[in-house]
Structure 1
Amino acid sequence: MTAPGRRTPGSLIETFAGLHLRRLGGWIAVADLIAVLAPAGVGGPAVRQALVRIKARGLLAAQSRGGVAGYLLTGAGAADLARGDGRIFRYGAFDADVSAGWVLAVFSVPETDRAARHRLRAELTWLGFGTVGPGVWVAPANLAAPAREQLRDADLDRFVTWFTGHGPDPAPVAQWWDLAGLAAMYRDFLGDWETGGRVDPDSPAVRPATDGRVFADHLHLVDHWRQFPRLDPGLPIGLLPADWPGAAAWRVFSSLHTRWSTPATRYVDTVVRPTPPAG
């Protein structure tokens, strides 16, 4: 299992938007975005190319203020970030209740609309659904409401018929989800971050220049982590392998996120200029 797009320039910009852009008023000058992302290893040309793709997806909209070229977080983008907040920073928030059963998404997409079929499969994967068979996807029942809402927003719900109920006991979850692949991704995360920070933000030598290094690590940390809430369906611990690494990965993420948030925010505030008024 490989999560696409993680730690690319576009993904890092989206992570920056979730962590900082709303607090900054939802708008940022292109020059400031390039400057603030420099410690994270993202150069100006890569930022500009990524912004074009993000704009096409509707997360950001180009907007000049005071003669300065910039980008504004759209309403749809803000809603998407808000949905992500509750899952990215709350491991286990969607833990399934075995007694609640399962939801099935059964879909049929015309052969002439292969793009919609691809988008639907991608959305269901990122919503935490596993595969029962061709055109039949399964998830814990508590994922039903957010899944239907997201597919409706993406104009994909018209292809789906929904069913809820109880499946075999024990549920063959290893057949429905690539648990081995997901566990390998969690272990990769632990391999990257378990040894602790590259920088200790409590050190007196941190400020101000080292704040940029902390910001870069924090941005990469959150960008790496935010793939998991969409791939991990939150299965009950009793359905998972005994050595499941998800909880250990969460403990590492939450500890580093807590340590790095303040110096990362301080760095952003020293680089990004106050937002000029619109109009």
Structure 2
Amino acid sequence: MSPPPKPEKAAAGFPVAQAPAPEATAMKAPTPRSLIVSFFGAYGRELGGWIAVADLVTLLGLLGVDAPAVRSAVSRQKQRGFLRARQSGGVAGYSLSEEAEQILADGDRRIYTRQDAKLDDGWVLAVFSVPESERHRRHLLRSRLSRLGFGATAPGVWIAPSHLAEEARHTLERLELAPYVDLFHADYLAYADLREAAARWWDLGAVQAGYAEFSAQFLETDDAPADDSEAFATYLRALDAWRRMPYRDPGLPPELLPDDWHGVQAADIFFRLHDTLRARGMNYVRSVVER
């Protein structure tokens, strides 16, 4: 489940030596727009991709989002092409666009899968050149590579673990950026210490801080709440906080990570909550939409 499908028209250029994390380090409070994306990723598709506006208001109300905020966020997601207004049985509601369906499917592989990268797997290199007259595409390309988990090694040369190759290829084609990029599978031969080089190519400190904050926020979360409504609210909060983390983290082999890496603990916490709360949350969602 990626961010909403409409790409930004422009973004600030990135330093050559090190790509910045695509989001601020500090974990932001969930927004109505973000919660809607998380809801459709976790539950909306299982409902057939459509939900009545009134039911969405009820569900997000459990997370402290009032009705005007839900309706405003839904309207913005419609403008961005993530949702489509559609009536069902005379009831006003919204369904996912085809592009949103694809983005959520792409996100599933990233959010719900633990990557087990090995040094012997090699790397994928993205080498690109964009004319000055199409500067906005250069900004979009850099931004999207960063969100995919690539790090910048030199002007126009970005690197990622090889397990990101297929996702990168698919994303570049979907955003019509493929004509500007060549992708290569590569092995690292010399000359820098690879662990030191990785620390230059990625801001691992920012990723580490994000994992630590997620762990601190959800470590003591009750995974056996008294009722399904609480399970729904707790899981959606956890998913909304977690789903950006796998995009900040390139999924490097363990040999290249800091010794006190918090990513494993954070993943353990999320998957524990996913395993224990997600299905109970679905029970509550169905009780609301089928009443």
Q: TM-score range by the shorter chain?
A: 0.7 to 0.9
Shift of 1:264: 1.3
Hey, what does 1:272 align to over in structure 2?
Answer: 289
Decide which of 217, 229, 251 is 2:268's aligned counterpart.
251
| Aligned residue identity for 1:181 | A
Deviation string for 1:75-97 (max 9, x for gaps)? 222222122222212222xx333
Shift of 1:98: 1.3
Output the aligned Cα RMSD: 2.0
- Aligned residue runs from structure 1 range 96-111, under 5 A: 96-111=117-132
| Aligned residue identity for 1:234 | G
- Aligned residue runs from structure 1 range 129-148, under 5 A: 129-148=150-169
TM-score by structure 2 length?
0.84
Local SS of the residue matching 2:87: coil
| Aligned residue identity for 2:77 | I
Shift of 1:108: 2.4
Please state if 1:55 is matched with 2:105: no
Local SS of the residue matching 1:40: coil
Percent identity between matched residues is: 45
Query: Comparing 16-25 with 77-86, which one deviates more in the overlay?
Result: 77-86
Partners of 1:166 and 1:108 in 2: CA distance: 22
The answer on whether the counterparts of 2:214 and 2:241 sit within 8 Å (CA) in structure 1 is yes
Local SS of the residue matching 2:71: helix
Local SS of the residue matching 1:109: coil
Local SS of the residue matching 1:86: helix
Q: How many residues align?
A: 264
Query: Comparing 213-222 with 107-116, which one deviates more in the overlay?
Result: 107-116
TM-score by structure 1 length?
0.87
Partners of 1:76 and 1:2 in 2: CA distance: 21
Please state if 1:43 is matched with 2:63: no
- Structure 1 consecutive aligned stretches of length 4 or more whose deviation exceeds 6 Å: none
Hey, what does 2:233 align to over in structure 1?
Answer: 216
Partners of 1:231 and 1:177 in 2: CA distance: 9
Partners of 1:250 and 1:104 in 2: CA distance: 27
| Aligned residue identity for 2:217 | D
Local SS of the residue matching 2:183: strand
Hey, what does 1:18 align to over in structure 2?
Answer: 41
Hey, what does 1:72 align to over in structure 2?
Answer: 95
Decide which of 180, 200, 206 is 2:224's aligned counterpart.
200
Shift of 1:193: 0.6
Local SS of the residue matching 2:38: helix
The answer on whether the counterparts of 2:22 and 2:147 sit within 8 Å (CA) in structure 1 is no
Q: Where in structure 2 are there 5+ consecutive unaligned residues?
A: 1-20
Please state if 1:228 is matched with 2:245: yes
Shift of 1:6: 7.1
Local SS of the residue matching 2:138: helix
Shift of 1:222: 0.6
Please state if 1:175 is matched with 2:200: yes
Query: For the structure 1 residues 120 and 268, does the alpha-carbon distance in structure 2 shift closer, same or farther, using more than 3 Å as the test?
Result: same
Q: Where in structure 1 are there 5+ consecutive unaligned residues?
A: 275-279
Decide which of 243, 256, 273 is 1:239's aligned counterpart.
256
Shift of 1:67: 2.4
